[in-house]
Structure 1
């Protein structure tokens, strides 16, 4: 539910601070059907996510999906829930703290970093409010989706705009659109694979699974499919792994419409039936482990591969809190911050003087 706060008071003489808002997809508050229902309703009500006319989709969503899917999804979440909470929430919060440290330690900067979920809590509205309360008049929004898609990145931009439509004193806003070919991001993925292979040897096949979207989005001009393939090509080149042993697939298909192909689980089943005994799977479209990686890939797809004749299945974790990934994220944000990094925050003495000037001005008025 939307929450509204009064406009912060404006104090003459105080300069704006710079803030960063990391945004990930979202998660329910608990692995229960009760918690899943509002989360799924918010997620599946977004017209960027489900591009079906509301008159057709609304009865399906409220009459069927929200009455049948929450218990099933809750069981899936329960299988991967951490002591601290949802994996996606835990990793995103940790990444925000590490990013703040990487940005500020030893650099003389003082940048605020908040985090939010597009669906669920903390909301984008919560994150923006936290930065506004810290006097951030410059905000860099970083959707944690490496590959741009209308259903993810654009939806974040929509929500940021919606949340600020009643603000009187608007901040400067910048966005990180995508980082699918960022050298640091590519290098971190490749290094995580190398480290896994040093311990376990190389597989017969390396499968890169990205989250799927309806094929119609590609036909309408969404660049997501192309950016996924560019990421996969760059990772493969960095690994110097034979291209005929690498596959790019798409997971998490929902509904009856055709989505981007090939689909991940059916591909794994075919590989197993064809005599491939070992497969390693990575998910470069996710920077944090979540339901789609820990349950769908590491559990469901593993079972499917082994059931159809495969012998060894390795899921290579997402980047999460890897040092090289946080370093890459730091450089991504630094690039987008640009000259904002040169604007130093007020010192304590300057703040005190500005407050006194404001008090004196008020007394004279």
Structure 2
């Protein structure tokens, strides 16, 4: 029987909150044609003359506000996920990042050359599929093997947002949070956005986000007015998936809504987009519009229920081969 190996992949993070490291990360991330589909002739001048100089400087304080003693929260939680999953299964596990370190190529090399794995499951830690995330992982897997003489068996997981066990774990995280805090009358599921034309061209992400919220609503036995879907992290002037999270919070604050619970189900671990953009910036937007409190519900991170789901899901989907 071929030796198994598991590769967990998340998006990535700068090595530090220095301008140099943030710029290097953004350059790699925003140069990927899966992320930005504009012609390089149009996009590269914008990237190098506007985006990198401005956002690298702007993001220093944002990253600094979420940084831990052990570094990036995204990497910290990803490493903890790897360690806890490895404790529960009998084959090697590596974690990697689509952009930055540890790289996908180095993690694959470790599994194949150092640990002799010939049957590898690749699990992008994005519950919903998008060409901007999971497909970018697939591209890098293919690129790694482009000039290799030997290619092991690869099992690629596209998404897991609709798995009943995952929905139960996500719903329970909401329930437990609301038991500890005053229960608001509204839950917002704020997903990372993508340009609308990506969705129009066939990216299934929007539909999967809508379905994710619907499954949560059913599991929590809520009505349509109790839980809604919005989209965050818009970049540039073009139209992205709507409704926008910040616009929704402004409107609700002006309508007299006092308190809202909010979570970001497109992220498996907390990161800049959750800890700074939602927990801090979104709350400021809501309060400025007349609201009183925005309760952020953390990502599942390395919580035991999340790890148990992941272990169960991996075992359920990892097929053994003998040849």
Band the TM-score falls in, shorter-chain normalisation: over 0.9
**SS of 1:60 mapped into structure 2:** helix
Structure 2: unaligned runs, 5 residues or longer: none
Contact 2:121–2:156, Cα closer than 8 Å, also in 1: yes
C-alpha separation in 1, matches of 2:66 and 2:217: 29
Contact 1:95–1:320, Cα closer than 8 Å, also in 2: yes
1:241 aligns with 222
Contact 2:190–2:262, Cα closer than 8 Å, also in 1: yes
1:138 aligns with 119
Q: How does 1:219-234 map to 2 (within 5 A)?
A: 219-234=200-215
Q: How does 1:6-155 map to 2 (within 5 A)?
A: 16-103=2-89, 110-132=90-112, 133-155=114-136
Contact 1:215–1:258, Cα closer than 8 Å, also in 2: yes
Cα-to-partner distance string for 1:300-354 (whole Å, 9 max, x where unaligned) = 00011111111121000000011111111112211221235xx7xxxxxxxxxxx
**SS of 1:173 mapped into structure 2:** strand
C-alpha separation in 2, matches of 1:327 and 1:57: 42
CA drift of 1:16 comes to 4.1
1:107 aligns with none
Higher Rg: 1
Q: How many residue pairs are counted as aligned between the two chains?
A: 321
Contact 1:184–1:324, Cα closer than 8 Å, also in 2: no
Contact 2:2–2:320, Cα closer than 8 Å, also in 1: no
CA drift of 1:42 comes to 0.3
CA drift of 1:196 comes to 1.0
1:183 aligns with 164
C-alpha separation in 2, matches of 1:62 and 1:229: 35
**SS of 2:314 mapped into structure 1:** helix
Cα-to-partner distance string for 1:165-190 (whole Å, 9 max, x where unaligned) = 12212111110110010112111110
**SS of 1:116 mapped into structure 2:** strand
Contact 1:287–1:320, Cα closer than 8 Å, also in 2: yes
C-alpha separation in 2, matches of 1:90 and 1:299: 20
C-alpha separation in 2, matches of 1:315 and 1:102: 30
Contact 1:184–1:325, Cα closer than 8 Å, also in 2: no
Structure 1: unaligned runs, 5 residues or longer: 1-14, 104-109, 344-365
Q: CA RMSD in A?
A: 1.1
Q: Could you state the TM-score of these two structures normalised by the residue count of structure 2? A: 0.97
Contact 1:282–1:317, Cα closer than 8 Å, also in 2: yes
Contact 2:10–2:96, Cα closer than 8 Å, also in 1: yes
1:348 aligns with none
**SS of 1:174 mapped into structure 2:** strand
Cα-to-partner distance string for 1:81-101 (whole Å, 9 max, x where unaligned) = 011110000000100111111
